[in-house]
């Protein structure tokens, strides 16, 4: 080697151009930017019904990478009334983004339990409605139900008999994330553990990019790797302050997602809180029992400050509620006996109650509802009401001529508060039994009752105005009016 070549080699060595590469520390991941990238990736291939649904789906996919430090993991349920609504596409996207994704298509339950116990995968279940409708009921589907229902909380296990002679009991841990897609609804116990996205078919103007697994899997898995890196950098998640009113099962569902949003920062905590409250407000009616729905609706229609309410007035107020089931409950409307039975489960019974200035009749006292309202549908109305300070006057009682009837075809006794026998209403002299709506407890004034239009006056046979028992002449004669 001549001196010129040697000199050139020395220069190259000093430049470091051909030195072995030195590993540089990874650049820390920006959590807010990463979640925004996840959202953009999801939006490329699917249209969700609301902005809140996009937020929930992003947080759910990311929370699977933190499963080792969570106490609960909400189920994700993508449900629709019709096929072709994009449910399966959501699962395909989650298969790229989640921690240890497992599309559970054709696994033996023994293998399934071992995989869940060893790997804590993100289970993705399509056509889950077949599992819960009973059409494909088997030992395997029953085991799968147990995993879905019980595996949302840390420490959940299932026991299986095994061994050569089936004389050994094995415990398998089943705490793991689960996302589901299906038609219709799921059992209430599972719905209450789930973030429910109500999928719809895309409208003509809603365009998405065609999804091809072979093309988009590399990009999706790269994003998943960055989520895993970020999760390791974040370390222990902090428990955020839950929005007001988020408690019990709702807290179990949303706390993990709010924790992820808080760790990401940016606008994600605010977006997550808004999504949380929106989803809770939009919970399906089926997740609320008929009794609790009745308590909540009674709380809404109860007159402000009134200590008592007659059964008939309560029934009519309930029947007037829009989007409520009471007017045609069981095809015949809510009746006094059914009302009493539903409320008796909460220790509430009808009593003889008094409305000042009107009289006595069967009804309910507001104070009897306070405990149930506090337990099942807070906030509770002001307990400071008493009969002396909040008495109803005759004008406070709704004129039943302006109120749709709850039911019809029952014979009831009509009461008249204008009788001369004190404050207690007595049966009308000329119409003790009248075929009217099943509103048996309303104390009426001015000779009125919930009669059908076009009835005849029992005194003279003349046509009676709708809502009256007698014609005006007979009524005035009975009252001694000239």
pLDDT tens for each residue of 125-176: 998 887 776 555 666 777 788 888 889 999 998 888 777 777 788 888 999 9
Domain residue spans in the chain?
A: 31-281, 290-478
Instruction: Say whether pLDDT at 287 is over 90.
Output: no
Which uninterrupted H or E stretch holds 224?
A: helix 213-234
- Of the candidates 179, 155, 193, which has an alpha carbon nearest to the alpha carbon of residue 97? 179
Residue 106, pLDDT score: 63
What band does 72 get if pLDDT is binned at 50, 70 and 90? very high
**CA separation for the pair 188, 59 (Å, rounded):** 23
**CA separation for the pair 38, 314 (Å, rounded):** 51
Read off φ and ψ for residue 245, nearest 5 degrees: 90, -5
Concatenating the DSSP letter of every residue in 305-319 gives: T-SEEEHHHHHHHHH
Alpha carbons within 13 angstroms on the beta-carbon side of residue 402 total: 3
Token pair in block for residue 144: 């799968």
CATH of the structural domain 31-281, one choice from 1.10.8, 1.10.3470, 1.10.760, 3.40.50: 3.40.50
What count of other Cβ atoms lies within 10 Å of the Cβ of residue 342?
18
* pTM (two decimals): 0.62
Instruction: Say whether pLDDT at 326 is over 50.
Output: yes
Average pLDDT, the chain: 78
What count of other Cβ atoms lies within 10 Å of the Cβ of residue 193?
23
- Region 233-241: mean pLDDT is 92
Which residue matches tokens 């048996």? 440
Maximum CA pair distance of the chain? 142
DSSP state, residue 438: S
- Region 208-224: mean pLDDT is 95
pLDDT tens for each residue of 363-395: 999 999 999 999 888 654 444 444 333 334 434
Residue 11, pLDDT score: 64
Most confident of 140-154, 307-321, 346-360: 307-321
Residue 382, pLDDT score: 47
Residue bearing the bigger pLDDT, 288 or 465 = 288
Residue 6, pLDDT score: 59
CB 391 within 8 A of CB 356: yes
């Amino acid at each position: 080697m001549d001196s010129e070549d040697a000199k050139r080699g020395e220069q190259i060595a000093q430049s470091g151009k051909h030195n072995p590469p030195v590993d540089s520390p990874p650049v820390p991941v920006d959590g807010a930017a990463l979640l925004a990238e996840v959202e953009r990736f999801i939006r490329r291939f699917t249209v969700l019904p609301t902005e809140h649904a996009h937020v929930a789906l992003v947080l759910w996919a990311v929370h699977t990478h933190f499963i080792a430090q969570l106490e609960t993991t909400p189920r994700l349920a993508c449900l629709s009334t019709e096929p072709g609504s994009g449910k399966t596409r959501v699962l395909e996207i989650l298969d790229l983004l989640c921690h240890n994704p497992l599309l559970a298509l054709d696994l033996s339950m023994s293998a399934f339990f071992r995989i869940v116990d060893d790997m804590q995968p993100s289970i993705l279940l399509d056509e889950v409605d077949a599992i819960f409708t009973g059409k494909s009921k088997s030992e395997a589907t029953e085991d799968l139900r147990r995993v879905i229902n019980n595996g949302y909380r840390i420490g959940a296990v299932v026991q299986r008999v095994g061994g050569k002679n089936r004389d050994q009991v094995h415990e398998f841990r089943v705490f793991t994330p689960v996302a589901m897609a299906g038609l219709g609804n799921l059992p209430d116990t599972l719905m209450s553990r789930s973030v429910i996205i109500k999928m719809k078919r895309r409208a003509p103007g809603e365009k998405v990019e065609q999804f091809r697994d072979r093309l988009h899997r590399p990009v999706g898995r790269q994003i998943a790797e960055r989520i895993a890196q970020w999760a390791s950098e974040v370390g222990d998640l902090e428990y955020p302050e839950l929005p007001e009113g988020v408690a019990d099962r709702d807290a179990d569902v949303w706390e993990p997602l709010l924790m992820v949003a808080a760790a990401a920062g940016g606008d994600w905590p605010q977006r997550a809180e808004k999504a949380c409250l929106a989803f809770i407000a939009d919970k399906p009616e089926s997740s609320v029992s008929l009794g609790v729905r009745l308590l909540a609706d009674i709380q809404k229609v109860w007159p402000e400050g009134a200590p008592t309410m007659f059964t008939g007035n309560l029934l009519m107020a309930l029947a007037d509620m829009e989007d409520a089931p009471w007017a045609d409950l069981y095809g015949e409307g809510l009746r006094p006996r059914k009302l009493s039975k539903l409320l008796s489960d909460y220790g509430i019974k009808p009593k003889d109650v008094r409305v000042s200035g009107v009289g006595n009749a069967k009804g309910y006292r507001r104070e009897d509802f306070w405990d149930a309202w506090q337990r099942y549908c807070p906030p509770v109305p002001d307990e400071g009401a008493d009969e002396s300070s909040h008495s109803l006057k005759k004008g406070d009682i709704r004129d039943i001529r302006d109120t749709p009837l709850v039911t019809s075809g029952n014979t009831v006794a009509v009461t008249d508060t204008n009788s001369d026998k004190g404050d207690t209403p007595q049966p009308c002299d000329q119409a003790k039994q009248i075929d009217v709506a099943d509103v048996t407890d309303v104390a009426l004034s001015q000779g009125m009752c919930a009669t059908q239009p076009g009835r005849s006056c029992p005194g003279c046979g003349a046509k009676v105005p709708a809502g009256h028992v007698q014609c005006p002449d007979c009524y005035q004669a009975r009252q001694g009016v000239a």
